[in-house]
Amino acid sequence: MSIPVPIPVIPVPIPVPIPVIPMPIPVILVPIPVPAVPITLIPVPIPVTTVPVPRFPAAGWMGHGPMPGSPRGIDLNHNFADLNTALWDAEDNDLVPHEFPNHYIPIPEYYTFANATVAPETRAVIAWMQCYPFVLSANLHGGELVVTYPFDMSRTYWKAQELTPTPDDGVFRWLATVYATANPAMASAERRRCHYDDFTRYGNIINGANWHTVAGSMNDFSYLHTNCFEITVELSCDKFPHASELPAEWENNRESLLLFMEQVHRGIKGVVRDSDTELGIPNAIISVDGINHDVRTASDGDYWRLLNPGEYEVTARAEGYEAATQPCRVYFENVPTPCSFRLERARGRHRPGRTRPGPDPALRLQRLRLRRLRAHGRGQ
């Protein structure tokens, strides 16, 4: 049953809040046998359209542009803020992670302007993502048979295809592989190409940017602006399958969906508490040694961090507290390893519970760009 849920505006740690146009998004809460996991489905973020969708041959509707009837011709899946460029500029200037974050990257100011080409549906989805501490997500598309994982945007801006992995490439490859290998249509040795690309040579998974680069994808935005790891699943060669084909499509994807959702337990979880009060510390940063991507605790101090099996050195830090580090081991069973922290108040210049305002990363980057432009002008 689809229940229209109004999306509230929740304050989040970004320098420029996004103006959100309240609108109902159909959300389905489904009891699926994945232990202790709240599961939310959005059937489609695009409003119902009266524009007729033409039937195409079994090869499906080719292309990845705007769907017929989408508002203002906007491709909603690629309508999110480009946070990749800001991160890579900061990395090139050695600002990460001390002066520019490697996670929860702030949304650029231009994206919040009233005349920005941002659909109200996109704004609503962003607000929804900011409301809840999602851990794992899948974007379900049609028109191909492959699972793609971030990054979707190539780091070399002029390259249409370039392998551009995230710091969590191993985890993303595992998530994509779990889905692809459990999908009979993808895993079949007799499967044919949908169009031109032969994805079987990659195991039916591919890095998004290595397929075709796009800026502002939901996958990249989820990874860089929230704690959520998101992949895209191209479910079928036919982008608009006939209703009679849907039972077969469900059978092809049912087990894949269940196995994918079970991966939410792969990694570590815990609570970061104040050692004196035992209260949870919100927005504490969880860092894993060797992985240049952090996550943050939720409002009650708890966190979830997807990791492949192995031994890790994990550090928790928060403003006004001494950082703490401990080893955490992730096992092969789909059971998260408890890894909690009790942080002591910092002694010295910081007063307990107070935070020190830091530099604005966006302003810092703007100054660096202006400095480079001036230097370039003098050199001519």
Task: For residues 116 and 84, give the distance between their C-alpha atoms in angstroms, rounded to a whole number.
Answer: 18
For the chain, the structural domain boundaries read: 3-263, 267-343
Q: Rounded mean pLDDT of the chain?
A: 82
The candidate with the shortest Cα–Cα distance to 174, out of 327, 337, 315, 310, is 310
Tens digits of residue pLDDT in 264-279? 999 999 999 999 999 9
Banded model confidence at residue 369, pLDDT cuts 50, 70, 90: low
Of the listed 121, 144, 230, 234, which one is catalytic?
234
The alpha carbon of 74 is separated from its chain's Cα centroid by a whole number of angstroms, namely 20
Contact 339, 322 (CB under 8 A): no
Q: What is the CATH number of domain 267-343?
A: 2.60.40.1120
- Number of Cβ within 10 Å of residue 336's Cβ equals 21
Nearest alpha-carbon partner for 214 in 228, 198, 240, 232: 232
pLDDT tens-digit series, residues 119-163: 988 998 999 899 889 999 999 999 999 999 999 999 998 999 999
Cα–Cα distance list, 9 to 103, 111, 113, 301 (Å): 21, 17, 17, 21
234 is catalytic: yes
Whole-model pTM above 0.75? yes
Lowest mean pLDDT among 4-8, 49-53, 177-181, 283-287: 4-8
Burial 118-154 (b: 16+ CB within 10 A, else e): bbebbbbbbbbbbeebbbbbbbebbbbbbbbbbbbbb
CATH code assigned to 3-263: 3.40.630.10
How far CA 310 is from CA of 154, 203, 264, 306, 346, in Å, comes to 29, 24, 16, 12, 31
Tally Cβ neighbours within 10 Å of residue 215: 16
Omega prior to 241 cis, within 30 of 0: no
User: Are 25 and 45 in contact, with CB atoms under 8 Å apart?
Assistant: yes
Give pLDDT, residue 24. 46
What mean pLDDT do residues 228-242 have? Answer: 93
Structure tokens at 301: 């101090």
The pLDDT value given to residue 154: 98
